């Protein structure tokens, strides 16, 4: 780039420099190593942030003496922290292997709360918490599935 920069007219040097910068960024963003690191860090960081938000929720519930939502918040936080550590240690398969059963259990619990029991004043709260967690797990599964697919395509190409 330095050799070419000397041959660029003075009025076009900024355009050339910006174009080179964008080309370098585009190459970095398209690199498989960057995509793997991005997906892995997004999964780990997202799980840790979601766990922290659940801990905050559980702390607020403990101030209101609401035992069941408090335990639910701490339990979900623990599961997300375990998932973050498993993803850090074992990769995308751990994310998929842990998220699918948890999403199924939460979905069954949501169906039971919605249709099986007599509605209580807090049943909508439980249902909302479960739906939030299932949506977060779905996003994590999409990211992990896409990243795992990228790994398998790269291995097939050599």
Kindly list the domain boundaries of the chain, sorted by start residue.
Answer: 1-30, 32-157
3-state secondary structure of 31: coil
Residue 151 has pLDDT above 90, yes or no: no
User: Tell me: the pLDDT tens digits for 110-129?
Assistant: 998 888 877 787 888 889 99
Q: How far apart are CA 128 and CA 109, in angstroms?
A: 12
Which burial class, exposed, middle or buried, applies to 156 when counting CB atoms under 10 A from its CB (0-12, 13-18, 19+)? exposed
Q: Give the pair of three-digit tokens for residue 75.
A: 């339990």
The encoded tokens of residue 76 equal 């979900």
Structure confidence by residue, pLDDT tens digits, 68-83:
888 999 999 999 999 9
């Amino acid at each position: 780039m330095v050799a070419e920069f000397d041959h660029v007219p003075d009025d076009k040097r900024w355009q050339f420099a910006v174009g080179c910068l964008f080309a370098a960024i585009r190459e970095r963003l398209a690199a498989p190593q960057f995509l793997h690191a991005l997906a892995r860090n997004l999964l780990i960081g997202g799980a840790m942030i979601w766990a922290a938000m659940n801990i905050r929720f559980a702390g607020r519930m403990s101030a209101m003496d609401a035992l069941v939502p408090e335990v639910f918040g701490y339990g979900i936080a623990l599961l997300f922290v375990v998932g973050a550590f498993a993803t850090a240690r074992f990769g995308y398969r751990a994310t998929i292997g842990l998220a699918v059963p948890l999403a199924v259990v939460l979905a069954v619990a949501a169906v039971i709360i919605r249709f099986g029991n007599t509605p209580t004043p807090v049943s909508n709260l439980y249902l909302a918490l479960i739906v939030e967690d299932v949506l977060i797990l779905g996003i994590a599964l999409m990211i992990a599935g896409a990243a795992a697919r990228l790994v398998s395509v790269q291995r097939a190409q050599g």
